[in-house]
Structure 1
Amino acid sequence: MTTLPPVVPAHSDLPVAIVGAGPAGLSAARALKRLKIPYTQFERHSDVGGIWDIDNPGSPMYRSAHFISSRDKSGFFGYPMPKDFADYPTREQILRYTRSFTDAFGLRDAIRFGTAVSAVRQDEDGAWTVHTDRGDTRARAVVCCSGVTWDSVTPEVPGSFDGQLMHSVDYTEPSLFAGRRVLVVGLGNSGADIACDAASSSAAQAFISTRRGYHFVPKHTFGIPSDETEWLPVWAERLAYGVVRRVMIGDVSRWGLPRPDHRLFESHPLLNTQLLHHLQHGDITAKPGVARFDGADVVFTDGSRERIDLVLFATGYRTSIPYVPADYFPWKGGRPQMYLNAFSRERHNLFGLGFLEVNSSAYTLFDRISQVMAQYLDDQSRRPDRAARFAKLVREDRPDLSGGIRFVGSDRHAAYVEIRAYRKYLRSLTRRLGWADMSPGMFDGIRATTSETDSRHVAH
């Protein structure tokens, strides 16, 4: 473990290295640019967008995907999504919006496209060496923004299976299901979406398997997106949704789904009442967990069996940062343990942006934590006393970001934060350290001109 000295040499002559040009990486880039901190951004793909670019190798995106949070509650700070977008934007709209954001703030010039990072190492002087397939770069800091939905987890199932096995990371088109008996294993929001794709396409029959029950939340309540009630405290949201669910949804066990074994918000709720529609009409059949494979059949934990042609595992992802040595972060339950889910406690100026689960849109959280990171880096050059105060917090501060929610005790939930608690803590931290709080016009000085933006749209 590297012990952080009270004041660390800033290496201000070196750029910050950002790995990845998805939404998290772009947020980091804008924050650094605002404070005139030099940086270089590495992106292995040919354009920005991260997972929202379906042509990006390793993207888990599928044609029918939509944003899980609503238009007006999502998006980058100070750059709202267009009002003509759907309440829950399509993947094409999100990709277009992300690229528009990139051009609006002139972020392309610092990105090295087609450049994959293979390793980062901290040198003895505290600076960093970034190894890429196009050569090495020295940096004062490294910001890992390489995402969490590409290293798929496929459970081991006893027995042998005669049909096709695949993970949702490789799924893109519902035509895959034509004429086939399809089993989707896993009831996250992606699993529910994909099961609905199978039911709506020409699949011979669709099944969904889940070991755990989940709470369903309608995407709209009283005509507005459900996440617009986020201003309510958690107890009031639970009360309101409890009434709505009883009136609008009822007991999901009627259609074969298990009842939830946890309270609302202690795990991810499902914003997919379309799945219930298909269950109610027999287009999808709910099954319990998978016990084993038996040739052409899948045997379930209740002893029932079904002949299946295709098993699609929507069973989640490992958090992987393969280019960072494992001992640079402590890992627990397959998740890197970082201060505020963003700052390495082991290595000075190693950051991870996007390695958290949250019960709301993550984009504005990316912006908030990016501002903290940028302020800290700026202070290392301009206010080393204040930088040392924050470095001490990185080592010692362990805030409760659960908002009083007892999240389900799974590996995935080890990185969960409650949106209101997280934002409140960041505001408190900003005030304590005397940093500037976020304001709507804070990025106006780095916006590209209209002519620059138009020319970039033509070029890209």
Structure 2
Amino acid sequence: MTQHADVVVVGGGQAGLAAGYHLRRQGLDFMILDADTAPGGAWQHMWESLHLFSPAEHSSLPGRLMPAQPGETYPDAGHVVDYLTDYEKRYGLPVQHGTRVGAVRRDAGGLLVEADTGIWLAKAVISATGTWSRPFLPAVPGRSVFTGRQLHTVNYCSPADFAGQRVVVVGGGNSGAQIAADLALDGNAHVTWVTQRPPRFLPDDIDGRALFDVAAARRRALDAGRTDTGGLASLGDIVAVPPVRAARDAGLLTAKPMFSRLTASGVRWDDGSRAGADAIVWCTGFRPALSHLAPLNLRGPRGHIPTDGTRALGEARLHLLGYGDWTGPASATLIGVGRPARDAAREIAQLS
């Protein structure tokens, strides 16, 4: 039997919850379908030492400030999960956990959302599935011949899993720096950090508050037709959170250039130098998890769906939320997702 709703939100993490908050304020009937069996979105799958870049009060969803975590300036991932769990309950958001959406299709009456628990017919859909479920692994020569362990950021848990091992961490962004620092400060593994280009650390006094302001200023400039400020890329790639700072200042975060290939027992550079490895941790980013939208045939360059704000240009009943700046300035952050979620809910409310 097909169920009906004004709006179906696909994904119950931070973006999906922010959407739910604003859809309720618009008086719309909606359902949030979430593949995870418990609240917390991707935060419940993060590695043990991960902390936010910003203090709690600057990491909040609309309507509810995140409480401070005792003894921590920057809350850890577990605190974020608790906050999102409380947020979902506090606002009584209708989240159906353990429900995976396989496809969204056009239908005469709206958009048909096919889930493993049933079918929904909605006047509009908000896709808020994020990127965590779609890790990216580069096509590096020799990946198939390496006999050690290969894992992505999504699989990393703690240094205890690598005690006594030689670990190569690949990636010059925040995840790569933080995981390399985590392993190096623990001291029980031999760590080689490899980056595509020399790592660029942001000034030590910059955290998530400043990053959000920079991203918002860039978007305002672009919307007004002014010169591109360069945004975050003009400042650097890596936020110097306390563990990263400590490892860097102790000389434990000296990056080597990207190797040319993997061998059976490690990695090799173009100059013939080698490093043995028992494990490779690929901190090489993610791609938008959009396979459920494939039947709509909306994909554009780089796998993105072209949008005006959050609205898909090829399907006015579809909004995309929380995937990055192309779906709203800083929309992949806790503090940044509120405004595009509000705008999406308002646009949907105006649909005839």
Task: Report TM bin, short chain.
Answer: 0.7 to 0.9
What is the aligned counterpart of 1:308 among 252, 277, 295?
277
3-state SS of paired residue (1:32): helix
- Report the counterpart of residue 165 of structure 1 in structure 2: 150
CA distance in structure 2 between the aligned counterparts of 1:44 and 1:106, rounded to whole angstroms = 18
Q: Does 1:151 align with 2:134?
A: yes
Aligned ranges for residues 2-21 of structure 1 at < 5 Å? 14-21=5-12
Q: Is the Cα contact below 8 Å between 2:56 and 2:69 reproduced in 1?
A: no
Check 1:293–1:377 CA distance in 2 against 1; reply closer, same or farther (3 A cut). closer
Following TM superposition, by how much is the alpha carbon of 1:67 offset from its aligned partner in structure 2, in angstroms?
1.3
Number of aligned residue pairs: give it. Answer: 330
Q: Does 1:36 align with 2:21?
A: no
- Report the counterpart of residue 446 of structure 1 in structure 2: none
Check 1:151–1:282 CA distance in 2 against 1; reply closer, same or farther (3 A cut). same
What is the RMSD computed on CA atoms of the aligned residues? Answer: 2.7
- Report the counterpart of residue 38 of structure 2 in structure 1: 47
Q: Does 1:141 align with 2:121?
A: no
- Report the counterpart of residue 206 of structure 1 in structure 2: 191
Q: Is the Cα contact below 8 Å between 2:102 and 2:292 reproduced in 1?
A: yes
Check 1:24–1:165 CA distance in 2 against 1; reply closer, same or farther (3 A cut). same
CA distance in structure 2 between the aligned counterparts of 1:69 and 1:84, rounded to whole angstroms = 12
Give the TM-score of the pair, scaled to structure 2: 0.84
Q: Is the Cα contact below 8 Å between 1:206 and 1:284 reproduced in 2?
A: no
CA distance in structure 1 between the aligned counterparts of 2:264 and 2:65, rounded to whole angstroms = 52
CA distance in structure 2 between the aligned counterparts of 1:115 and 1:263, rounded to whole angstroms = 37
| Counterpart residue type for residue 345 of structure 1 | L
Structure 1: runs of 5 or more not aligned = 1-12, 55-60, 236-261, 382-460
CA distance in structure 1 between the aligned counterparts of 2:249 and 2:273, rounded to whole angstroms = 20
Q: Is the Cα contact below 8 Å between 2:324 and 2:330 reproduced in 1?
A: no
Q: Is the Cα contact below 8 Å between 1:149 and 1:317 reproduced in 2?
A: yes
- Report the counterpart of residue 264 of structure 2 in structure 1: 295
3-state SS of paired residue (1:140): strand
Q: Is the Cα contact below 8 Å between 1:328 and 1:344 reproduced in 2?
A: no
Check 1:84–1:182 CA distance in 2 against 1; reply closer, same or farther (3 A cut). closer
Q: Does 1:270 align with 2:238?
A: yes
Check 1:376–1:263 CA distance in 2 against 1; reply closer, same or farther (3 A cut). closer
- Report the counterpart of residue 222 of structure 2 in structure 1: none
User: Mean alpha-carbon deviation: is it higher for 312-321 or for 269-278?
Assistant: 269-278
Check 1:293–1:214 CA distance in 2 against 1; reply closer, same or farther (3 A cut). closer
- Report the counterpart of residue 192 of structure 1 in structure 2: 177
Q: Is the Cα contact below 8 Å between 2:12 and 2:32 reproduced in 1?
A: yes
Q: Is the Cα contact below 8 Å between 2:201 and 2:236 reproduced in 1?
A: no
Aligned ranges for residues 355-434 of structure 1 at < 5 Å? 355-357=323-325, 362-381=333-352
Q: Is the Cα contact below 8 Å between 2:323 and 2:331 reproduced in 1?
A: no
Check 1:28–1:45 CA distance in 2 against 1; reply closer, same or farther (3 A cut). same
Check 1:319–1:137 CA distance in 2 against 1; reply closer, same or farther (3 A cut). same
- Report the counterpart of residue 101 of structure 2 in structure 1: 117
Q: Is the Cα contact below 8 Å between 1:220 and 1:226 reproduced in 2?
A: no
Following TM superposition, by how much is the alpha carbon of 1:135 offset from its aligned partner in structure 2, in angstroms?
1.6
Q: Is the Cα contact below 8 Å between 1:73 and 1:361 reproduced in 2?
A: no
What is the aligned counterpart of 2:73 among 87, 96, 100?
87
CA distance in structure 1 between the aligned counterparts of 2:54 and 2:298, rounded to whole angstroms = 30
Q: Is the Cα contact below 8 Å between 2:159 and 2:182 reproduced in 1?
A: yes
3-state SS of paired residue (1:208): strand
Following TM superposition, by how much is the alpha carbon of 1:141 offset from its aligned partner in structure 2, in angstroms?
0.8
Q: Deviations over 1:261-320 (max 9, x none)?
A: x99633753112643543554545421101112332311245422111111110111212
- Report the counterpart of residue 159 of structure 2 in structure 1: 174
| Counterpart residue type for residue 126 of structure 2 | V
Q: Is the Cα contact below 8 Å between 2:101 and 2:292 reproduced in 1?
A: yes
| Counterpart residue type for residue 22 of structure 2 | A
- Report the counterpart of residue 227 of structure 1 in structure 2: 209
Check 1:268–1:42 CA distance in 2 against 1; reply closer, same or farther (3 A cut). farther
3-state SS of paired residue (2:316): coil
Q: Deviations over 1:149-179 (max 9, x none)?
A: 2211111222332322221111112211100
CA distance in structure 2 between the aligned counterparts of 1:368 and 1:264, rounded to whole angstroms = 19
What is the aligned counterpart of 1:100 among 86, 103, 125?
86
Following TM superposition, by how much is the alpha carbon of 1:121 offset from its aligned partner in structure 2, in angstroms?
0.6
